[in-house]
Structure 1
Amino acid sequence: MTPSRERRSAGLLLFRRTDAGLEVLLGHMGGPFFAKRDAGAWTVPKGEYEPDEPAWDAARREFQEELGLPPPDGEALPLGEVRQTGGKIVTVWAIEADLDPATVVPGTFRMEWPPRSARTQEFPELDRVRWLPVDRAREVVVKAQTAFLDRLAEHSA
């Protein structure tokens, strides 16, 4: 029996320091499942990768695919990994950088919608991107990803 491959994802969490405190750049997941949700519908820009691709390379590639912008240069702070509820293992690096969310051109995905309609529709990977104070980000980010916010806050203290 062949062991099942664990799903892995990698991403970059941008952060900036403002007069009001630390802010992080998160994306709201696109598509019909998350359209009317806020809590648990925001994520670090990330994506899946194959076992033969280094996680760091995948994080940079996925940033470009998800946001349509090159990943920023800067010192990458490893925030480690977490296992999300669905079992996916997510690895994230933080980079201090500024980015105007208005410049984002999100990648898209296609899916059958409505279900069993035989119609395929295209949706943005992320339907909006926003800078959020860390405390607000904790309220809306995918639950397991709050660990990345905690690790970043510890490092930035």
Structure 2
Amino acid sequence: MRQAGGKLVEAFALEQQIDADMIKSNVFEKEWPPRSGKRQSFLEVDRARWFTIPDTTIMMLASQLPLLALLADFLRNPREMDVPR
């Protein structure tokens, strides 16, 4: 799914016990400060946490809410999903 700002988001869901404290972020590089010619590394995610679906709806970007709606629908009515890309 493409967010309003153009970033492509790939999402997945699984039924599994995962300790959020054990999740490690990937790192990306960018020029920082801007136009300085210097490159720095940054974490993509500062930490992982788990939320209920109602709590998540207030934390996600509006462009990501259709992904959450698909998951909530699937949890109410499990079946194979044909997810739009």
Aligned-partner Cα distance in 1 for 2:9–2:39: 28
| TM-score normalised to structure 2 length | 0.72
Q: Which residue of 2 aligns with 1:101?
A: 20
Q: Which runs of 5+ in 1 are unaligned?
A: 1-81
Summarize the Cα distance change of 1:138–1:123 in structure 2 as closer, same or farther, 3 Å threshold: same
User: Which residue does the alignment assign to 2:74?
Assistant: 155
The separation in 2 between residues aligned to 1:96 and 1:107, in whole angstroms, is 23
Whole-angstrom distance in 2 between the partners of 1:142 and 1:133: 16
1:37-116 equivalence runs, <5 A: 82-88=1-7, 90-116=9-35
In 2, distance between residues paired with 1:83 and 1:113?
26
- In our comparison, the structure showing a higher alpha carbon Rg is 2
SS of equivalent residue, structure 1 residue 99: coil
Q: What is the aligned-residue identity percentage?
A: 36
- Higher RCO, Cα 8 Å, sep 6+: 1
Q: CA deviation at 1:141?
A: 1.6
Q: 2:51 aligns with which of 111, 132, 143?
A: 132
- Which TM-score applies when normalising by structure 1? 0.43
Structure 2, unaligned runs of 5 or more? 77-85
Root mean square deviation of aligned Cα: 1.9
Shift of 1:90: 4.2
Taking the aligned partners of 1:83 and 1:110, their CA distance within structure 2 comes to 22
Q: How many residues align?
A: 76
Give me the whole-angstrom Cα distance separating, in 2, the residues matched to 1:115 and 1:122: 13
Letter in 2 for 1:114: P
Superposed CA deviations along residues 96-125 of structure 1, whole A, max 9, x for unmatched, are 112111112211011111212222211011
Distance in structure 1 (CA, Å) of the matches to 2:40 and 2:7? 25
Q: Deviations over 1:71-110 (max 9, x none)?
A: xxxxxxxxxxx33213455453321112111112211011
Is 1:122 the counterpart of 2:41? The answer is: yes
Residues 97 and 107 of structure 1: CA distance in aligned 2, closer, same or farther (over 3 Å):
same
Displacement after TM superposition at 1:142 (Å):
2.6
